[in-house]
Amino acid sequence: LITVGAQHGLYLIAQLLLDSNTIFGIENPGYVDMRNVARLTSATVNPLPVSHQGLVLNDAVNECDYVYVTPSHQFPTTVTMPIEHRVELLARATEFDFVIIEDDYESQLEFSGYPAPALKSLDSSDRVLYVGSLSKTLAPGLRIGYLVGPAKLVKELRALRRLMLRHPPANNQRATALFLERGHHDSLLKNLRRAYKERLQTLVIALREYLPEAVHSLALGGSSLWIKGPENLDARKLREYALQAGVLVDSGDVYFLGSERPLNYFRLGFSSIPNGHIRPGVAKLARVINDMGGSRSLGQ
């Protein structure tokens, strides 16, 4: 089903499937919009912990009716779920009777050349609803996403889509289809991967040099890095001060659910920053953190 971005697909799924009897498991930290979409329904939203290997497969997962997961690049930590965990998550979905919502919003931005298979591609028992997007590669403003699921469900989702907004603009769909068909998206991806890989490397080297004690996620691709600052760093203040210095960072507290929201995490995006601007930007950011008095304990 073609949707108005991945977001719309997630919204349709939530509206159709979640009710007061459902437990909706969501990664913590996780995608804020998904959490808010789930909260528009009467489902119980359960936070599920995340490690350096993505979603932690603990007992809480088994209790869910739906598990929302971002296995390619966990959002916001960007870590990748290993294949063994993917296989286990699928096995558990059958054993404990839950459905997986796989949000693969930027799967194409993988730099190693060996992407882990999507959960959907390993799904032999129709346990996975797959949501994808062209926002991170082609253009977010185009609002083209897609959803893959069992035919019967897609029929229902299509009917709901029709009631909401009939369909995404046909001219956008047509232009996108031609763009894909003629191979332009494939060559765009090649260029994006090359450019983003270079930017990520520059960012990692600059962090090592200017913020050597920073702990950052191990990103195999994507468009941002997730960084842990010192325990006493307030990344909301860092965002404010860094902005004054001309550097935009995304403070991480909003991505956490529950009453204990650490304040010392932040995201650095690199997808729209020319390679040459990255080092000077990190140098500026390091100066801001130094001025805030936090560099010494960065990452502890």
Ligand X SMILES: Cc1ncc(COP(=O)(O)O)c(C=O)c1O
By Cβ distance, which residue is nearest to ligand X? 5
Size of the residue set binding ligand X (CB under 6 A): 12
**Burial class of residue 170 (count of CB atoms within 10 Å of its CB; 0-12, 13-18, 19+):** exposed
CA distance 123 to 42: 28
Q: How far is the CB of 6 from ligand X (least distance, A)?
A: 4
Contact pick of 27, 65, 102, 103 for ligand X (by CB under 6 A): 103
Distance CA 100, CA 139 (A): 27
Q: CB under 6 A: which stretch of 3-11, 83-91, 178-186, 260-268 binds ligand X?
A: 3-11
DSSP character at residue 110: B
**Which one of 11, 24, 68, 105 is in contact with ligand X (CB under 6 A)?**
105
- Nearer Cβ to ligand X, position 75 or 98? 75
Binding mask 140-179 for ligand X (x = CB under 6 A): x----x----------------------------------
Q: Which residues contact 81 (CB under 8 A, 6 or more apart)?
A: 53, 54, 55, 69, 71, 72, 74, 89, 116
What does the per-residue mask of binding to ligand X show for 40-69, with x meaning CB under 6 A? Answer: ------------------------------
Which residue, 221 or 294, has its beta carbon nearer to ligand X?
A: 221
Asked if 6 is part of the footprint of ligand X (rule: CB under 6 A), the reply reads: yes
Rule CB under 6 A: say whether 223 interacts with ligand X: no
Nearer to ligand X, 75 or 256 (CB): 75
Count of all residues that appear for the chain in the document: 300
Is the Cβ–Cβ distance between 28 and 75 less than 8 Å?
A: no
Q: What is the radius of gyration, based on Cα positions, of the chain? A: 20
Q: Exposed, middle or buried by CB within 10 Å (0-12, 13-18, 19+), for 297?
A: middle
Q: How far is the CB of 61 from ligand X (least distance, A)?
A: 19
* Closer by beta carbon to ligand X, 6 or else 235: 6
Contact (CB, 8 A) for 24 and 43: yes
200/223 Cα distance (integer angstroms): 8
Tell which one of 1, 2, 7, 50 touches ligand X (CB under 6 A): 7
Q: Is 44 left (phi over 0), alpha (psi -120 to 50) or beta?
A: beta
Which of 144, 288 has the CB closer to ligand X?
144
31 binds ligand X per the rule CB under 6 A: yes
Which region, judged by CB under 6 A, interacts with ligand X, from 2-10, 168-176, 224-232, 263-271? 2-10
Beta-bridge partner residues of 99: 66
Least distance CB 104 / ligand X (angstroms): 9
Positions touching ligand X (CB under 6 A) are 5-7, 31, 70, 75, 103, 105, 133, 135, 140, 145
